[in-house]
Structure 1
Amino acid sequence: MDFMTTRREFITKSACAAGILPLSSFCLPSIFDFADNDSLDVSIFSKHLQFLDYKATGEMAAEMGFSGVDLTVRPGGHVLPERVRTDLPLAIAAIKKSGIHCNLITTAIESVNNPLDMEVLKCASEAKVQVYRTNWYKYKDGMSMQDSLLFYQEEVRKLGQINKELGLIGSYQNVDGIAIGSSFWEVDTILQTVDQKYFGAQYDIRHALAEGGNSWENGFRLLHDKIKVIVLKDFKWGIVNGKWQAINVPVGEGMVDFTTYFKLLKKHHLKPPVSLHIEYDLGGAEQGKEIITVDKKVVFDAIKKDLVTIQKLWKEA
């Protein structure tokens, strides 16, 4: 594939310069700039609404006050990768009918050498998705940790080239546990050689605090200029069955210092798109179950409460 400037990119850039297409893929850096207003652009992570069809997902997201939906396009998700050609356009059209956007998708994409991964990216581009999240990488057996990171650094670099051609931005989420990304330095390393206009970090403050403890601000300093999307959720440490573990809780009821975090974002003039995750117990909705054990209203009320809290904390920060 020729990664020189394509006709599509030339036309889009020209239109951006003229102010004709302010929301097109190649104008994307503008959606990451800080704007002086009192609200964040928050999408609901559709994993938590997988008991709803596409139409109902869009309707409920809009009714709860979200700007958009972060759609799961992965095994077990709202859109299955093998059905992306037919189902992704249907899903996005149904969501947009409610007057909200679907600029974000969460995928299991790992490599340009995977034909299904490439099909997902092509369909995302055609559907005018702006940013996608990849799968998490794991350290390779029989390979040193350093060599594993360099291997994935090359995978990310190649994805960035494809993203440039397709007008997409990829993102890698920091995570807790032993997958690559629990350390801020791991994320920084795999992003070293990619064109960062087309691939960056999906910064998860909950995971950052769980793994970084009091040093999470250093992680933010390291990655802040690479952030494309932020994930918001909360947790606290507690004893469960005699063992200490992270317990997920509603936003504002845990250990995440949202005031300091939001002040840091504002200090650096950052207001990235937000994906709201709900990981505390909601009858299986938190796990992406298609059949949940609580009334749907319980789920909707909890999600809306988190959204209202986020916007309040952002305004006050």
Structure 2
Amino acid sequence: MITRREFIAKSTYAASLLPFSALAFQSSILEQPDDMLDVNIFSKHLQFLDYKTTGEMAAEMGFSGVDLTVRPKGHVLPELVKTDLPIAVKAIKASGINCNMITTSIESVFNPLDVDILEAASKERIIYYRTNWFKFKKDISMHDSLLIYQSEIKKLGELNKKLRLVGCYQNHAGTNVGASYWEIKTILEDVNKEYFGTQYDIRHAMVEGGYSWENGFQLLHPNMKVIVLKDFKWAQVNGKWEAINVPIGEGMVDFIKYFKLLKQYKLKPPVSLHLEYDLGGAEKGNAEISIDKKLVFDAMKKDLKSVQQLWKKHNAAKKSNRITLKHI
């Protein structure tokens, strides 16, 4: 018998020997059992730790990898990416887990620093990266703004192909580009979907979509490369209704229906787990936090356990139905 950490380390090494194919890695570099998801912790919430301790704690908590922040105020600063990214990835992988995805502020192939990040990520065999969020431009129509970003993403996709990377744009509640499913669909229209897609965030999809979030899923599921998991509920704050972030399973996200749809379309993308509720500043990416670190780790383990249990529930329901039908 080998430990989970040893299994991940050996499997990752074996996978690194295979020829790269973006489609081959669309679900995960490491195939998890059917009743488990490949869950990576978003390192924004561990920025009070160094690279080595981030990897060690992520492994100890049971995560399969780390979604590393490579952006201003992130774990790795963009201007130091050439020197610091190799150090960070090596330290994380030394704990026996993966570092297959990064979260960035990348926007354009015409930005030399953005290209530096992509080239450094390619050298470290990182697969997925998330871009910055685009803003609608002033003095032109919203549609024309989308066409400009459509062109930017197409160029990023062409560079991704050369560097063997997969870019992702996250849908996000609010007024930036990507709050609407159709905005995402438009900016992805011309890019090679093997090398650029969406980081689908079910929390933001439900905040913006309400009852229509399933339409958004149907529209974007062919483009999903990575998914973000987190939960929320509507509540009054000082007399005003707001979307309040809560632990997984304690809010309004219908994970059972969502996971059922993923399985229906045979989708099992790698997960970036976000914890945006109050954790003494860890939820904001603070380098110093105001609560005991153990409370942060306990919250992460609890959310990870909830995610895996919710993913298993649909399998259990199907198994129960098969048994019932068999005995009729």
Whether these two folds match at TM > 0.5 is yes
SS of aligned partner of 1:32:
coil
SS of aligned partner of 2:67:
strand
Q: Give the 5 Å matches for 1:198-217.
A: 198-217=195-214
- The corresponding residue for 2:55 is 58
- The corresponding residue for 1:16 is none
- The corresponding residue for 2:256 is 259
Task: Return the match for 2:237 from 229, 240, 265.
Answer: 240
> Structure 2: any 5+ residue segments left out of the alignment?
1-13, 315-328
- The corresponding residue for 1:225 is 222
2:69 is aligned with 1:93:
no
- The corresponding residue for 1:122 is 119
Task: Return the match for 1:29 from 18, 24, 29.
Answer: 24
Q: Give the 5 Å matches for 1:149-164.
A: 149-164=146-161
Q: Give the 5 Å matches for 1:131-150.
A: 131-150=128-147
Q: Residue deviations 1:228-274, cap 9 Å, x none?
A: 00000000000001100000000000000000000000000000000
Letter aligned with residue 97 of structure 1: A
Instruction: Return the offset for 1:22.
Output: 7.0
- TM-score using structure 2 length: 0.89
Question: Relative to structure 1, is the Cα distance of residues 125 and 41 closer, same or farther in structure 2, using a 3 angstrom cutoff?
Answer: same
Q: Give the 5 Å matches for 1:237-316.
A: 237-316=234-313
Q: Distance in 1 between matches of 2:209 and 2:168?
A: 20
The answer to whether the Cα contact below 8 Å between 1:28 and 1:130 also exists between their aligned partners in 2 is no
Instruction: Return the offset for 1:25.
Output: 3.7
Question: Relative to structure 1, is the Cα distance of residues 147 and 98 closer, same or farther in structure 2, using a 3 angstrom cutoff?
Answer: same
Question: Relative to structure 1, is the Cα distance of residues 50 and 245 closer, same or farther in structure 2, using a 3 angstrom cutoff?
Answer: same
Instruction: Return the offset for 1:309.
Output: 0.3
Instruction: Return the offset for 1:29.
Output: 3.1
Q: Residue deviations 1:54-108, cap 9 Å, x none?
A: 0000000000000000000000000000000000000000000000000000000
- The corresponding residue for 1:7 is none
- TM-score using structure 1 length: 0.92
RMSD: 1.5
Task: Return the match for 1:103 from 100, 105, 120.
Answer: 100
Q: Distance in 2 between matches of 1:102 and 1:20?
A: 13
Count of aligned pairs:
299
Q: Distance in 2 between matches of 1:234 and 1:314?
A: 15
